[in-house]
């Protein structure tokens, strides 16, 4: 059953055996393809038994029969899942992806409401004891860690600490001038308005 689910729902089971998941997708996809392909053919034949000869156009005509739509869809669904499993991927049932997309959209919407509207960052200068710059942001900066070098006004800074503050800018980052002797492992060119360009809700 896990192989039918879109990826976002699989992590809840902590399914680490990716090989088993691919095999399950291959078997279930193949069985789905065969089962619904057979039902499609049976339905097609029964719909045109009154004809002495079933021509090629009958196959096209049968696609306009509403009862053929779910059969054709799940045949296509099984075919896609089986073929992608041959390349080592476990694709869930296409019928469940709209629910996953709607679920994701609702989660992002709720997260956006919880965090509040986006506002520009505030930059405060310190005396250098704890920090030289304190940046208050309405959104977390996921890539800002001890390895990240931040460039602002053509000067290089390192992350000294990260703290939680009060809304609407609860994410606080304390920056110190980066010593010239330290290696730059990652560089972020900082802009106080960059939060409006991020995909984070």
Residues 6+ apart with CB under 8 A from 3: 21, 24, 25, 28, 29, 81, 90, 92
pLDDT of 14 higher than 70 = no
pLDDT of 175 higher than 80 = yes
pLDDT of 15 higher than 90 = no
This prediction has a pTM of 0.60
Average pLDDT estimate for 37-44: 90
Question: Residue 53: its pLDDT value, please?
Answer: 58
Residue of 120, 129, 122 lying closest to 194 (CA atoms): 120
The answer to whether 108 and 164 have CB atoms below 8 angstroms apart is no
Q: Give the residue extent of every domain in the chain.
A: 2-111, 122-194
pLDDT of 17 higher than 60 = no
Confidence of residue 62 (pLDDT cuts 50, 70, 90): confident
Distance CA 8, CA 18 (A): 14
Question: Residue 44: its pLDDT value, please?
Answer: 84
Express each pLDDT in 151-164 by its tens digit: 999 999 999 999 99
Average pLDDT estimate for 138-146: 91
Unique residue bearing structure tokens 């940046």: 135
Confidence of residue 48 (pLDDT cuts 50, 70, 90): confident
Average pLDDT estimate for 166-179: 95
Confidence of residue 51 (pLDDT cuts 50, 70, 90): low
- Is the previous residue joined to 168 through a cis bond, with omega within 30 degrees of 0? yes
Please give the C-alpha separations between residue 123 and each of 49, 50, 60, in angstroms, as whole numbers: 78, 80, 65
Burial class (CB in 10 A: 0-12, 13-18, 19+), 100: middle
Residue % of the chain over a pLDDT of 70 = 91
Express each pLDDT in 118-132 by its tens digit: 999 999 999 888 999
pLDDT of 140 higher than 60 = yes
Question: Residue 54: its pLDDT value, please?
Answer: 65
Residue % of the chain over a pLDDT of 90 = 57
Q: Which residues pair with 136 in a beta bridge?
A: 122, 172
């Amino acid at each position: 059953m896990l192989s039918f689910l879109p990826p976002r729902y699989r992590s809840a089971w902590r399914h680490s055996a990716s090989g088993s998941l691919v095999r399950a997708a291959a078997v279930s996809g193949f069985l789905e393809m065969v089962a619904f392909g057979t039902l499609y053919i049976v339905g097609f034949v029964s719909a045109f038994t009154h004809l002495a000869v079933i021509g090629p156009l009958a196959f096209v005509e049968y696609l306009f029969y509403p009862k053929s739509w779910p059969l054709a869809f799940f045949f296509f669904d099984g075919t896609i899942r089986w073929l992608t499993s041959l390349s080592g991927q476990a694709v869930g049932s296409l019928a469940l992806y709209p629910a996953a997309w709607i679920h994701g959209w609702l989660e992002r919407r709720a997260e956006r409401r919880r965090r509040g509207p986006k506002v520009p960052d505030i930059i405060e200068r310190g005396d250098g004891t704890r920090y030289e710059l304190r940046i208050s942001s309405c959104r977390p900066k996921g890539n800002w860690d001890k390895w990240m070098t931040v460039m602002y006004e053509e000067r290089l800074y390192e992350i000294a600490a990260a703290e939680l503050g009060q809304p609407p800018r609860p994410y606080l980052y304390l920056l110190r001038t980066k010593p010239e002797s330290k290696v730059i492992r990652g560089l972020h060119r900082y802009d106080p308005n960059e939060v409006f360009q991020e995909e984070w809700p």
